[in-house]
Amino acid sequence: TPPPPKVPTTPPPPKRQHLPPKKETVSETKSSNTTTQPANSNESPHFLTLDPITEAKESNFADIKKDVAELFPELKIIDQPPDDRAAKKVNQQWKKGPILPEVILLTFNETPEQTEFLLKVVNAINEHLAPAQMFSAYTIDKQRKWENMLKIEGLRLVIAPDYGIYSLPNLKKYYRESTVHAERTLAGIPVLLLTDVGLYIKQPSLKPALWKALCAILKDGS
């Protein structure tokens, strides 16, 4: 006998798997907890809120000054910045072009301390009285430029130590002294003779007299 016909069968449905509950990610948690800020809101987000700035307390640095004075006694502590008006004046002179000196101070190989004093004299004249420069007498004498110096336009005064004038014959020939009028000149230019420069350092009381003489010559003659 023939075999019975095969009847098609349907496969059973797959068994349903039980998955663990889904965990929320950090970004999802943050987005769910974050409130949306209106675009036109004037209120700043919490994380942008700044603490008010406290006013700085004024300090005179007394403790720092005390420590510096104890550690470095050779240093000079000043409360105010130094006056820079003279430096600014010199710095702006280039705008006016070269300035010919009205006062020339001659040096004769003085010591560094004496040269520093003479330079201070020139700086004081520059600031308060008239344009002034300091020249080395030996350099001018070596170059034979005395006549050129004494013909500088507007030259009103030559300052020199008394011992220097007599030490250079080429300079001395221009020197004239009038005992009647108590005048000293170099080719007609008034001369102010200084005593030994070292005395102004050893005896500071001589400095006011020197400045008074400069003011009398340059202010009265201006």
Confidence of residue 10 (pLDDT cuts 50, 70, 90): low
Confidence of residue 162 (pLDDT cuts 50, 70, 90): confident
Q: What are residue 107's DSSP bridge partners? A: 136
Q: What is the pTM of this model?
A: 0.56
Confidence of residue 14 (pLDDT cuts 50, 70, 90): low
Written as six digits, the tokens of 69 are 């004075």
Residues 132 and 73 sit within 8 Å (Cβ to Cβ): no
Please state, in angstroms and rounded to a whole number, the distance separating the CA atoms of residues 167 and 184.
16
How many CB atoms neighbour CB 105 within 10 A? 22
- Find the length of the chain: 222
DSSP class of 189: E
Distance, C-alpha 139 to centroid of its chain: 32
Give tens-digit pLDDT for 109-136.
899 999 999 999 999 999 999 999 999 9
Give tens-digit pLDDT for 34-85.
545 555 545 555 555 666 666 666 666 677 777 777 776 766 666 777 666 6
